[in-house]
Amino acid sequence: MSINTFRNDINGLRAYAVILVVLFHFQIFGFSAGYLGVDIFFVISGYLMTKIIIEKLYKQQLSFTDFYLARIVRIFPALLFLIVFLTILGWFIFIPEDFKNFAKDARYSLTFLSNDLYYRQAGDYFAADTHDKALLHTWSLSVEWQFYLLFPLLLFIYAKFDKKLKYIGIFLSLILIASLSFSTLMTAKDTMYGFFKLTTRTWELVAGGLVYYYFNNKQLTAPLQKLSEGLGFTFILLSLVLYDQNTPWPSFLALLPVMGTMLILIANRQNSIFTQAKFIQNIGSASYSIYLWHWPVFFLLNYFFIKLNFISLSLSLGLSLLLGWLSYKYIEGSRKSLQKLKKGHIYLLFISTLLLLYPIYKHIEENGLASREKSNTPSNLDKMQMPSVENGWCFYNIKDNHNLKVGSQGFECSIASEQKNAKSALLFGDSFAGHNSPFWDQIGKKLNLNIQAITTNWCYPSLNKEFTGNKQSTAYQQCLLNREYLSKHIDQYDVLIFAGRWSEMDP
C-alpha cells in the first residue's frame, strides 16, 4: 500500500472525531464525552505517521527535512491564518488585559507549546472558566507536533540497531505500555497533567502505529471486516454513554475508544455505509479546519455572554462548518502552491514568520498596545491596589495559583468598608463572583458594608455537593469547605450576596 493511498474509512473517522468534539464543546446533550474525538484523531495520526516513517525506513530513504516540511505545509498555514484573524478581531473587541492574554496564547500556539502553557496555568479543560481562552483547542495540535518532532527521530535511532525492523512491533508495544501506565498514574495524581502532556498521550498515537505495523499487509475477509468495524463503532458509542467530563482522562479508560478506532482501522472497509457517505467524506476532508474554527466561534459566544439556545447553537454550528470549509478550500488548498516552492524557501518562510510574530506577541503580552486604551482607562488593571496580593480582590483562585492551599485561608479576605460601624456582609460564589468583587468593593464602601469574600473556582452558591468543574481538582475540595462554612455561619451576616455563572445551573 503506497503512502498516498486514500482511505475512505480514515477520512470518515476524521469526520466522526471532529463532530464529537464540536458537539461536546457546544454542550449538546448526549455528547458530554465528545472530547474523545481528540483521542480518535491521535490514533489516526499515529497510524499515518508510522506508515510514512516505517515505509521510508524500509527503503532507507527517511528524510527528516521532507518529513517536517510536509507537516509544516499541512498544519501551519491554516493555524497561522486563524491566529492572525483572531488577532485583528481582538484588536477591536478585546479589552486590554484580554488582548494581552490572547497574545501569550498565540505565541505558545504558534510554537506548538500551548499544551504546556495550559497545564502550567493549571486550567481544567472541561470547566466553564476556560471558555475565555480563544486558542485553548490548540493544545492537541501541540501534542501532535511534539510527537511529529520526536517520533521519527526515535525510530531512526532504533533502526540503527535493528536495520530490518524485525522487532519494532515489540519496541512500539513497550512504548505504549510505558506511556499508558504513566498516563494512568498521572491522571490519578494530577488530572490536567494527564490530559495535556505528550508523555501521557503518546500511547494513543503509538496505538495507531501498531495497527499499521501488524495489519498493513493483512486483508480481512468481508465478514471479519464488518465485525471489526462494528465492534469498533460499538466501543466508541459505549464510551459516549459511559463517560462524561468528570471521567479521569485519558488513563486506562481511554482504551475503549482507542481500541474502537484501532478496530475500524484494522477493518479497512472502503465501502462502509458508516464512512463512505458524501456528507461524512466532506466533513472528514475539512475536519482540521473545522476543528480550528469551531472553538473560536464558541469562545465569542461566551465572550459576548450569548446564551446557548436553539437559534444561537444552530447559527454557531453552521458558522463553524462554513468557516471550516472556507479555510479548507482556500487556506489548506494553498498547499499545492507551497509545495511548488523549493524546500529551503518553505523553511525560510516558516522560520521568518515565527521570528516576526513571536516578538510582536511577546511585546503585546508584556506591554499591551497603548494606542488601544482610552485616556480615562487604567492601562493595567492589575497595577491597581488590590485587597489581596495575588488572587485579585479576594478571589481564591486555587485552580490557577499553586501557592493557594485547600483550607480556611480561603475565608480570610475582606473588601469594602473598614469602618467599625459597618454592617457585615458575605460575598459567596464562583469565579464570576470573584471577578466582580471590585464592583462589590465600591458598592460596599457606599453602603458602609464590610464584605467577607468567599469565592472559589466553579463553586456556585449552594449547600449541596453539585459542582460545575472537575471533581478531581483542589477547587472542589475548597468548595466543599466554603459551603460547610456557609451552612454554619449564614445567620451571622447582615447582608448576603450570592453570585455565580447561573447559566451553568440551568436544568
Reported as a single tens digit per residue, the pLDDT across 34-65 is: 999 999 999 999 999 999 999 999 999 999 99
Given a contact cutoff of 8 angstroms between Cβ atoms, the answer to whether 203 and 183 are in contact is yes
Q: Residue 387's pLDDT band (boundaries 50, 70, 90)?
A: low
Mean of the pLDDT values across residues 344-353?
93
Q: Comparing 338 with 156, which gets the higher pLDDT?
A: 156
For the four alpha carbons of 186, 256, 293 and 124, in that order, the dihedral sign comes to: negative
Cell of 71: 507537516
**Span 220-235, mean pLDDT?**
97
Q: Is the predicted pLDDT of residue 374 greater than 80, yes or no?
A: no
**pLDDT for position 395:** 82
Question: Is pLDDT of 241 > 80?
Answer: yes
Domain map of the chain by residue range?
A: 8-367, 384-505
pLDDT exceeds 80 at position 260 = yes
Q: What is the pLDDT of residue 8?
A: 95
pLDDT per position as a tens digit, 450-489: 999 999 888 889 888 788 777 777 888 899 999 999 999 9
Cis upstream peptide for 296 (omega within 30°): no
- Looking at the chain, how many residues does it have? 507
CB 111 within 8 A of CB 104: no
Q: Round the average pLDDT of the chain to a whole number and report it.
A: 89
Q: How many CB atoms lie within 10 A of CB 91?
A: 13
**Helices 8-25 and 287-303, axial angle in degrees (round to 10):** 0
User: What is the tens place of the pLDDT at every residue in 84-115?
Assistant: 999 999 999 998 888 999 999 999 999 999 99
> What percent of the chain shows pLDDT beyond 90?
67
Q: What is the pLDDT of residue 311?
A: 95
Residue 208 has pLDDT above 50, yes or no: yes
Distance CA 46, CA 294 (A): 24
Q: Which of 34-38, 141-145, 251-255, 411-415 shows the lowest per-residue confidence on average (mean pLDDT)?
A: 411-415
- Residues 139-188 have pLDDT tens digits of 999 999 999 999 999 999 999 999 999 999 999 999 999 999 999 999 99
Q: How far apart are CA 361 and CA 418, in angstroms?
A: 41
Asked if residues 47 and 17 have their Cβ atoms less than 8 Å apart, the reply is: no
Local confidence band at 3 (pLDDT 50, 70, 90 cut-offs): very low
Sign, CA torsion 490/493/494/499: negative
Mean pLDDT, residues 210-224 taken together: 94
pLDDT at 322 over 90: yes
Torsion angle defined by CA atoms of residues 214, 220, 225 and 228, in that order, rounded to the nearest 10 degrees: -40
- Residue 469 has what pLDDT? 77
